[in-house]
Amino acid sequence: MIFNLASSYLIYRIGKDYFRISGNKTVILFVASFALNFAHNFAVRPDSLHDLAGIASIYAMIVYYKSEKKDIATLLITVLLTAIAVFSKQSGIQFIIIFVGFAFLIKDWATLLKLIVSTVLFYGILFYITHLVYPSFFENIIGGVKNGIDVTNFVKYILTRSIFILTGWPLILYFLYLLLSRNLLFKGVAISKLLAISALGTLIFASVTALKMGATTQYYVVFMNLALIVALNQSFEIKASVKGLKFFINKYSLTSIFCLFIILIFGFNTFKSIANFKEDPKLISQKNSTAIIAKLISSGLQKNSGKYIYSNLGTDTYAPSRQFLNNIYFKNCLVPQRDILEYSTSKLEVVGYNEFEKLLKDGDIEYIIDSNPNSKYEIVKDFNKIKKSDYILVLNSDGYLVYKNNKSTWKRK
């Protein structure tokens, strides 16, 4: 929630301070931006941080180019923010690429050189320090989880999803129309070109990475925020035969009306989801079961606070239940986004889960929460064999199986 609000506030400041969006339009921009951010990011903290850091880096870059002095400190802050975006999600690499590309586009060789040098220094130092603390981090960022390409998923869950047809497609098409018809990449002041290339860059990057298996419309959130600013900034006169209609359209603009539409659409969906969440019999049953699990594990962790929990609930398990359990035990929870690994088409060594295997074999994972029937996916080799030999079933409740380590003090040879 905090990350979403902060992202929307930065979008509001960019529009208000640098792109002539004023009056009621600024309020509409902020609320529409928050509707987009919250609807897509309410349950995904890494993505929320990624979007916030990315938008903040764009804001900092705009401040840099708006200033006549082009303060080096602002540029360093920009690079640092892009590094934070990368640390939260690999997609964050797009922002520094966009900025380097922009400096090249406008032939700002001094800034281009500073960006390259500061990026090498910042990223190098941060990666090295993190590698000392967590050796697998470098593998995770560079190698990543190779999900593979799934065009069917891209078409079904993104391009033809009703919410994307109503909000995403109109923004994409209108932005591309403005980009081409008004030559936004090559005309206007530097910050206008920067906004245009940032929006275009995030659109292209989202469209490429959205081809991955398991991708969602969330990939387009940064683009949609920037597209709102572009659309509101590029105002134009509308000829209307009805005087009152002309006044209304010219004052608030069609884009403002579309922003209100976004607010209504996502607001309706949010309240509908809340209502369904309260009334869904399946969710009510799972809520009672997870409460029993929480009580059991909380009692056990009081004696073993340094131990870990692994929710082995796969893609065939209802997602809110998995997120609910992981959120309760976030300090002790291992692999909170296990479903991403299940989708992975690469070897697990790429993302460095040898540490997980060591914890499992050393008895440091106190509890395993499993589904009934068990998921066929094994996060590490011989997972089910180790679970069978080293763990005992302590709870069977409404589709959940909770196993407790019975050899916590014994170290597997």
* DSSP line for 234-247: S------SSHHHHH
Whether the model pTM is above 0.85:
no
Give Cβ neighbours of residue 387 (< 8 Å, ≥ 6 apart).
368, 370, 403
Percent of the chain with pLDDT over 90: 30
**Cα dist from 145 to 158, 220, 337, whole Å:** 20, 20, 12
109 against 135, higher pLDDT: 109
Q: Indicate if the pLDDT at residue 247 is higher than 70.
A: no
Taking residues 115-141, what's their average pLDDT?
80
Please provide the average confidence, as pLDDT, over all residues in the chain.
Answer: 81
pLDDT, one tens digit per residue, over 129-162 is 887 777 666 666 555 556 667 788 888 888 998 8
Query: pLDDT band at residue 382, thresholds of 50, 70 and 90?
Result: confident
The pLDDT of residue 287: 73
Q: Which of 187-201, 278-292, 372-386 has the lowest mean pLDDT?
A: 278-292
125 against 58, higher pLDDT: 58
Q: Is 113 exposed, middle or buried (0-12, 13-18, 19+ CB in 10 A)?
A: exposed
The pLDDT of residue 322: 58
Contact 101, 185 (CB under 8 A): no
Taking residues 225-239, what's their average pLDDT?
78
Q: Indicate if the pLDDT at residue 352 is higher than 60.
A: no
The pLDDT of residue 253: 67
Q: Which of 298, 323, 370, 380 is nearest to 46 (CA)?
A: 323
Contact 365, 405 (CB under 8 A): yes
